[in-house]
Structure 1
Amino acid sequence: MLKNILAVFAGIIVGSICIWGVETLNHLLHPFPKGIKPDDMEGFKNYIETLPFLGKFMVIVGYALGAVVSGFIATKISKDGKPTAALICRIIFLVFTIYNMTVLPIPIWFWVLGILVWTLVLAGYKLALNKNK
């Protein structure tokens, strides 16, 4: 039980680091407007609305990388061969993704991909199982 809890925490942390890395690269390619403050939600919403397709799609790419890596790490640490830890990571990330999508002005395609992309934790799960063979 403790190993599974650790597996989920590790999956969430490593997956979050992957997402952060891709989003950091995205912000280098599509910088925030000058003068926007970290707590300026209206300014951030405006930034999201004016962000080009590639800028929005890079967020999905970050989610995809985070999903695969979190599923892989959670499965490797749990070592029980079951997808439980990976699926718990999926649920946690999905809840945060849906929250972000409800507070930010994003297009419908982002909603669809933003929900579907978290099934990729199962790809990470399968990769982890294949590495055991």
Structure 2
Amino acid sequence: MLRTLLGALAGMVVTFLAIMGIEVLGHVLYPPPPGLDPMVPQQLERIMATQPAAALALVVVAWVLGAFLGGWVAARIARAHPRIAATLVALLVMAGVVGMIMQMPLHPRWMAVLGLLLPLPAALLAAGLARPRLPA
């Protein structure tokens, strides 16, 4: 059980790093308009209104890919309970999506729906792929 918890913890770290990395890439590809700071909540609404759908989709990709990569790492470390470790990672991502939607409800509904539906299947797929292969 300790390996499962350690796997989940390592997976969560990988998830966080993956999501942050992809979101930084998104800010490079789709920078906010000049003079607007995404850290100021009042300005965030104007930034969101000007962002193309591809920029918003990249955020969803970050959540899903983060859940996948973190789920894979969690499952590889957990060994005995890979699905449990990967599920914990996915639940963390989903909790982050809920928190973000509650904090900034101006996100399009499709982002919330996809952010809640896709991380768990992505993490479980990764857990399935992370199983050690039997020698031929």
Q: Same fold (TM over 0.5)?
A: yes
* Contact kept in structure 1, 2:68 and 2:126, CA below 8 Å: yes
Deviation at 1:2, TM superposition (A): 2.4
The CA distance in 2 between the partners of 1:5 and 1:15, in whole Å, is 15
1:107 alignment counterpart = 108
Cross-structure match for 1:2: 2
Q: CA RMSD in A?
A: 1.6
- 2:129 alignment partner AA: L
Query: Structure 1 pair 12/54, CA: closer, same or farther in 2 (3 Å)?
Result: same
Secondary structure at the counterpart of residue 33 of structure 1 = coil
Instruction: Give the whole-Å Cα distance in 2 for the aligned partners of 1:3 and 1:45.
Output: 42
2:67 counterpart residue number: 67
Q: Secondary structure of 1:83's partner? A: helix
TM (normalized to structure 1)? 0.89
1:66-105 map, 5 Å: 66-104=66-104, 105=106
Question: Is contact 2:18–2:62 with CA below 8 Å preserved after alignment?
Answer: yes
Q: Give 3-state SS (helix, strand or coil) of 1:31's partner.
A: coil
Residue 37 of structure 1 and its aligned partner are, at CA, apart by: 4.1
Task: Measure the CA separation in 1 of the matches of 2:32 and 2:16.
Answer: 21
- C-alpha contact (below 8 Å) 2:75/2:81 kept by paired residues: yes
Shift of the alpha carbon at 1:118? 0.9
Partners of 2:67 and 2:73 in 1: CA distance: 10
Structure 1: runs of 5+ lacking an equivalent: none
Report percent identity of matched pairs.
28
Give the partner amino acid of 2:101: M
Q: Who is 2:125 aligned against?
A: 123
How many matched pairs?
Answer: 132
- The AA in structure 1 aligned to 2:110 is W
Note the C-alpha offset of 1:46: 2.2
Q: Unmatched 5+ residue regions in structure 2?
A: none
Give yes or no for the alignment of 1:132 onto 2:133: yes
Residue 65 (structure 1) shift: 0.9
- Residue 60 of structure 1 deviates from its aligned partner by 0.8
- The corresponding residue for 2:53 is 53
